[in-house]
Each structure stands twice: as structure tokens, then as C-alpha cells.
Structure 1
Amino acid sequence: MTNSPFTPGIASQRLSPEDLSANFSDLHPPLDDHEALVAADRCYFCHDAPCMTACPTSIDIPLFIRQISTGTPEAAARTIFDQNILGGMCARVCPTETLCEEVCVRETAEGKPVLIGQLQRYATDKLMAAGVHPFTRAAATGKRVAVVGAGPAGLACAHRLALHGHDVDLYDARPKGGGLNEYGIAAYKAVGGFAGSELDWLMKIGGITLHTGKALGRDLSLEALKAEHDAVFLGMGLAGVNALRAEGEDKDGVANAVDFISDLRQAGDLSSLPVGRNVVVIGGGMTAVDAAVQSKLLGAENVTILYRRGRDEMPASRFEQDLAAAKGVRLVFNARPVRVTGNGTAAALEAEYTRSGPNGLEGTGETFTIAADQVLKAIGQTLEGAPEGLAIEGGKIAVTGAGRTSLAGVWAGGDCASGGEDLTVTAVAEGRDAAEDIHQTLMGG
């Protein structure tokens, strides 16, 4: 076992390569042909399908499941991609248990929904494995659009614009495109480099030029982008991380959960990743769960999620909460961090129990201490470097309609924009809809 240079309790090589490989295998193994037909046969093909209404991208779920049941999964994939060009990744990471599957009639009647997410993966994987891109680009319009951020919103926007015949310059601050899909989700949800493969497949539409290592405010200015392009779409996500506001958060061993996940996703050798013996993750969203579960899978002995409110208010779905618990993660509710203790490096976390009072959340005065040589902050991200002139609402770029900002010729979508939930599928819908609005505007509609 190799010690980390940061703090004595954090070390790499806690588990063998064989154990790590097993731990980070596919969370939901893909359905085979027979399993897909059996799963599809459970669908009632409702004419007023509540699952379709619950899908942020409005995929015609009964239609694509019927296409699977009739032995035409490639046609099913086309139905999915018509609405969600990142349907392959969304099938892996969407919280289907709180969206389409939660409202499935089978769930209501039997407590067991149709496996919509897994069927979507089955269909999209079939078509993508064939190396086929199901769309043909329209004739060139002579218009050029800048898309800032190659995450879900930016990719969906870029693809739809290219489909309409526009040329797209796609910029991203990181060395690779993909955004959240590449850097920000749990490794066991998208194994085998799927995010990169999906990006390569999407780019087959043509007309999109990817420029990596280009950040807005550092390498790009909004003024220059507007001058050189007919329209601009901002989908750069949220790069900042909220402060813990706890004494000692500057100690070694305290880090941002998003950076921890990013390092894990880009690691060539999981055994080289340092992880603490006693890990505490602060927060209650998907990032918190992903960081906690992966800490456990890397070999941490004790992993705790500390969330300031009750279980029912936790942003992560009950499925994700149960997944964390099943992997050995302890969930502590109604508690907030007070201070990180230790002589220069984290050794423990002191926390205070909370309750809902007349003025909102308040401390009870009762404290407890958890051993913690690694503390990961997953308490939300913030917008950094928003260009001047853009109206801001709730810390994000204010948008109206299909992503129109306060500046003419500039649209925004995804996590950096006000509006919908911070979900991959929502970002895809916002990028797609903004592209349609941009297209109509550029063509005089």
C-alpha cells in the first residue's frame, strides 16, 4: 500500500486490481436479446403514456418499446435519438426510478415498472455498436454557431445545429469533450470508455469542430465569439464549488468531490488512486452518492454521507440512497459540519445535529465527532466567470423561452442556466430546444 503525499491516512493500492475490476464493473449489465423481449412484453403501450410525459426529452417510450418487441431495435434507437441524441448515456445515468419508471402503470399496479432505462440502453447500444449514425446532415446554410461547453447541453445543441446544416465551433475548457459525462459521473455507471465512444459517434453527423482547452474568460471572450459567429450557445456548466463554511476546511485531506470523481474517471489505473481509511462526504445529491460509493469501492474502510436535512429532502433518489447503503456507506441525516480537526491534515470531523425551526434549518447544539482522514465536499457548484452583460438569476444565467439570454444572439442551457433540474437528460433537452430556436432565428423564422 502506497501512502499519499497529502495525509498519512490516505493511500493507494488498498485493493487488488482484480477486486477493483469487480467493484467497478457495470452497475446494470446490459440486457441480452431474450431479456429485452421479455422486458418489452411487459409494456401496456399506453396511448396516454405517463412515462413519455415524465421524460424531460419526451421520448416516445411506448413506440420504442413496441419496436423492440417486434425485433427492430435499430428503429427503436432512431425513435430515441430523434428526441435525445445522448440517449445511450441517459439510459445509464438517468434517475429513471424518479422519472419514467416511477409513473409507469406497471409500477402503480404491481410495484415493478417496465425496465425503460435498460431497454433504452439495449436499443441505443445496438445501433451504436453497428457504427451507424442515424441522421444525415442538411445542406449547408452558410451559418456558423459557437457552442461553449462540450457537455450534455452543448453536445445536444451542437448536434441539432449541425443536423440543420449549420457549422459549429464547439469549445471546451478541458482536454476532452463530454463534460459531465466524461468527468463527472460514477465510473461504474458508464464503463468501457462509453462517454468518449458516444462523443465520437455523435460527431459523425459532420459540421462540428471540437476545440479543447478553450475556456470562456480565459481563452475566449463572448464579444469575440459573437463577432465571429452568427449565434452563441453557452453550456459550460458550473465550475465553482460552494464553500463548506466550516472551520479547518483548508486542511490537507479536504477536497471537492467533483475533483475526486474527475480524477477517478481519468485514471488509467484505479489502484493508483489514493483514498482515505475514513471518508466523510458532505452533501446529499448524486455527486455525494457517487463520491461516497466510489470511495468504498476503492477500499475505504468507513464511508459516511453527512446531509444537513432529513432523508425525504435528500436530492439523491431513494434508489441511490439504497445503493450507497448496500455498498456499506453510512448515511447520517439532519447533521451539518462544524469543523475539521487535525494537526495540518484532516483527522476527524465535528458535526452538529440540525432541525427545522421557525426560521428554517437550525442547529440543536448537540455535536458528535466522526473519524475522517478524507473529507469530500459535494455541496453544490456555482457559476464562475459569467460574461458581463448577461442577466443572472439565482446564481445562474437567466434565460427565457428556449434558452434565450438577456443578450441578443446568445442562448444558454444546462447547469449554467436558470430553469430546470440539474440532470443530464434535462441539459440535453435544453440544448436541443435552444438549437431549434437558434435555427429558426438564423433562418428568419
Structure 2
Amino acid sequence: MSNSPLTPGIASGRLPAEEYDRNFLDHLPALDVHEARVAADRCYFCHDAPCMTACPTAIDIPLFIRQIATGTPEAAAKTIWSQNILGGICARVCPTETLCEGVCVREVAEGKPVEIGRLQRFATDFAMPKGHPFQRAAPTGRRVAVVGAGPAGLACAHRLAMLGHDIVVFERRPRPGGLNEYGIASYKSTGGFAQAEVDWLLQIGGIELRNGVELGRDITLAELRQTYDAVFLGIGLQGVNLLSAGGEDLEGVGNAVDFIAELRQSDDLSTLPVGRDVVVIGGGMTAVDAAVQSRLLGAENVTIVYRRSQEKMSASEHEQDHATSKGVRIIHNAAPLRVIGETRAEAVEFAYTEDGPDGLRLLPETFTLKADQVLRAIGQRLTGLPDGVTAKGGKIDTAPAQVWAGGDCAAGGEDLTVTAVAEGRDAALSIHRQLSGL
């Protein structure tokens, strides 16, 4: 075991090599052809399907499931991609239990929905190796800049390329994909799927990808507006909210998003340091993903602490259950007061909370959790605004003429991959209408 320079309790190589491989296998294996046909046969093919209404991208779910049931999964995949070009990754990471499957008639009547997410994965996985199903329209001579190669930016770029426009995508990180590449649990997207899906998406043509280019550092919004006919901002949220508690500068305190990104980009999980006693502060998907993966890396004690009640956690009940099944403890109604330690984190002191009509209130009773690694997962924020762009509630609210925005950086909607795809796609249609004079 090799000790990390961060704290004595943080170390790499906690597990045998074969255990890392086993821990980070696909957590929900793909359906085979027979299983998919059986799962599809459970669908009632509702006329006014509530699942379709619940899908942010409005995929025609009854149609694609019927296409699977009749033995035409390639047609099913095209039905999915016509609305959600990132349908493969969404099938893996969407909280289907609170979206399409949560309102499925089978769920309401029997407590067991049609497995829409797994069927969507089956169709897209079946068809992706067969090539790209869409072709570009005749060139329009218009050029659009897309800033950010996350789900919103990629969806926007693809739809605009389909419509005949030429697209340049500027991405500050070495790889495209955004949170799909850097921000989700590895066991949800195995085998390099996120990058494979991007490569497949780019087969449409007409999209130039420029990595390592950051808005505000290498290019300005004013320059883009002068050079391109339209600009789409899908820049995500780069900043991480602080705890506003003492001791945040101690070694061993870090951001959950950075922890996940490092894990996602690692070629050897045995080299990743993790604490023996890990405390994750937050109540969303990032908190769950960081906590579960800490356990899978060999942490002995992992605790998620959330300041409000279980019902108010943004992580779904399904994800919370998954965390506890992996040995993660979840404590509700507690807020951090300080991280304890001299130079390195040793523990975290919390106060119990009460959520009343006047907001959250700290109670006098406190408790302490041993912690050699503390991960913040209490939300992200914009770190800077381009000239002419305004924010409201920490997200882009207004932008200058010829500038659109979507995804996590934009006001409205939930911070989900599928929502970002919908916003990017819809922005592309709006841009196309304006550029075409429609």
C-alpha cells in the first residue's frame, strides 16, 4: 500500500487488483435480445403515454418499444436519436425511476415499470456499431460557434450540423463529453462509452472540435459574435460551492467533482488514493457517486451527510438505496460546523438541523464524525460571465443578440444530462429558424 502525501489516512492500493476490476463492472448489465423482447412485451403502448410526457426530450417511448418488440431495434434506435442524440448515455445515467419509469402505467398498477431505460440502452447499443443514421442537409454557408462540448453543446452542434450549418465546438478540457466524460460514476458508463458516443455523434460531419480552448482565456464572446453567425453557450458550472465551515483549507478536504473526474480519467484505479474514513457532504447525485466510488476503491467507512430531510435529497430514492447497498451510511438533517485537524483533516463536527417555515435552523446538539477525507458535493456555480451575459440564481439569465445558452449553465430546468440534451437541441432549432429567416 502506498501512502498519499495528503494525509496518513488517504492511501492507494487498498484492494487486490482483481477486486477493482470487479467493483467497477457495469452496475446494470445490458439486456440480451431475448430479455429485450420479453421486457418490451410488457409495454401497453399507451396512446397518451405518460412516460413520453415525463421524458425531457419527448422520445416516442411506446413507438421505440414496439419497434423492439417487432424485432427492429435499429428503427427503435433512430426513433430515440431523432429526439435525443445522446440516448445511449442517457439510458445509463438518467434517473428513469423518477422520470419515464416513475409514471409508467405498469409502475402505478403493479409497482414494476417497463424497463424503459434498459430497453433504450439495448436499442442504441445494438445500432451504434452499424454507423451514423443521419445525413446532413445541403450546406447553408452559415457558421455557428458552440462553447462547451458537454451534453447541451454536443446536442446543439449535432442538430445544427444535420440542418446544414458548419459548427466549431470549443472545449476547455482535453476531451469532449462534459459531465458524461468527467462527472458520472465509472460503473454507469464503462468501457469508454462516453467517448465512443461522442466519436459516433461526430460522424454526422460538419463539426470541428477544438479542445483546450477556454472562453475568457483564449477566446472572448465578442470575438465569437464577430466571427460566427450565432453562438451557443453550454459552458456548464465550473465552480464548486464551499461549505462555509471552518477548516476547509485543511489537507484532505476537496471537491467531489474533482474526485470523480480523476477517477474517470484514471487508467489504473489501484493508484487512486482514498481515505479510510470518508465523509461526503451533500445530497445530490454527485454526493452519491463520490460516496459509492469511495467504497469501491476500498474506503472502510463512508458517510453522506445532508442538511435536510431524506425527501428533499435531489438524489433519487433508487440512488440512495444503491449507496446504502454498497455500505454507505446516510445521515440527514445535519450541517457541517467545522473540519477538525491541525494540518490534515481528522474529523468533521456537525450540528443537527431543523427545517421549518423560516428556513433551516441549526440545533444546539452536535456530533463528530471521524474523517481523513472530506468531499464537498453541495452544488456548483458559474465562475465568470462573458461580457453582455447576466445571471440570475447563479445561472445565465440573459445574453446578447445572436447568443443562446443551455444546459447546467442556463436558468430553468433540472441539472440532468437528458435536460441538457433537450435544451441544446431546442436551441439549435431556434438558431436555425433565425439564421434561415423562418
TM tier, smaller: over 0.9
Contact in 2 for aligned 1:216/1:385 (Cα 8 Å): no
Whether 1:429 and 2:428 are equivalent positions in the alignment is: no
Whether 1:212 and 2:211 are equivalent positions in the alignment is: yes
Equivalent residue number for residue 259 of structure 2: 260
SS in 1 for 2:349: strand
Equivalent residue number for residue 84 of structure 2: 84
Contact in 1 for aligned 2:344/2:372 (Cα 8 Å): yes
In 2, distance between residues paired with 1:433 and 1:349? 44
In 2, distance between residues paired with 1:193 and 1:365? 48
Whether 1:192 and 2:191 are equivalent positions in the alignment is: yes
Shift of 1:47: 0.3
Contact in 2 for aligned 1:251/1:346 (Cα 8 Å): yes
Q: Residue type matched to 1:120 in 2?
A: Q
How big is each residue's C-alpha offset from its partner over 1:173-212, in whole Å with a ceiling of 9 and x where there is no partner?
1000000100000000000000000000000000000000
Shift of 1:343: 1.7
Instruction: Point out 4+ residue stretches in structure 1 off by more than 3 angstroms.
Output: none
How big is each residue's C-alpha offset from its partner over 1:73-93, in whole Å with a ceiling of 9 and x where there is no partner?
000000000000000000000
Unaligned stretches of 5+ residues in structure 1: 399-404
Whether 1:443 and 2:436 are equivalent positions in the alignment is: yes
In 2, distance between residues paired with 1:418 and 1:320? 25
In 1, distance between residues paired with 2:341 and 2:328? 23
Shift of 1:159: 0.2
SS in 1 for 2:22: helix
Q: CA RMSD in A?
A: 0.6
- Select 1:412's aligned residue among 402, 405, 409: 405
How big is each residue's C-alpha offset from its partner over 1:340-367, in whole Å with a ceiling of 9 and x where there is no partner?
0112000101111000234210111110
Aligned residues: 438
In 2, distance between residues paired with 1:349 and 1:384? 27
Whether 1:393 and 2:386 are equivalent positions in the alignment is: no
SS in 2 for 1:66: helix
Equivalent residue number for residue 109 of structure 1: 109
How big is each residue's C-alpha offset from its partner over 1:289-316, in whole Å with a ceiling of 9 and x where there is no partner?
0000000000000000000000001000
Q: TM-score, normalised by structure 2?
A: 0.99
SS in 2 for 1:262: helix
Shift of 1:388: 2.1
Q: Residue 79 and residue 358 in structure 1: after superposition, are their counterparts in 2 closer, same or farther (change >3 A)?
A: closer
Whether 1:367 and 2:370 are equivalent positions in the alignment is: no
Equivalent residue number for residue 7 of structure 1: 7
Q: Residue type matched to 2:23 in 1?
A: N
Equivalent residue number for residue 345 of structure 1: 344
Shift of 1:406: 3.3
In 2, distance between residues paired with 1:114 and 1:380? 32
SS in 2 for 1:102: helix
Equivalent residue number for residue 401 of structure 1: none
How big is each residue's C-alpha offset from its partner over 1:370-402, in whole Å with a ceiling of 9 and x where there is no partner?
00000000000000121121121111111xxxx
Q: Residue type matched to 1:392 in 2?
A: A
In 1, distance between residues paired with 2:221 and 2:278? 41
Q: TM-score, normalised by structure 1?
A: 0.98
In 2, distance between residues paired with 1:406 and 1:442? 17
Q: Residue type matched to 1:431 in 2?
A: G
Shift of 1:97: 0.2
Contact in 2 for aligned 1:348/1:370 (Cα 8 Å): yes
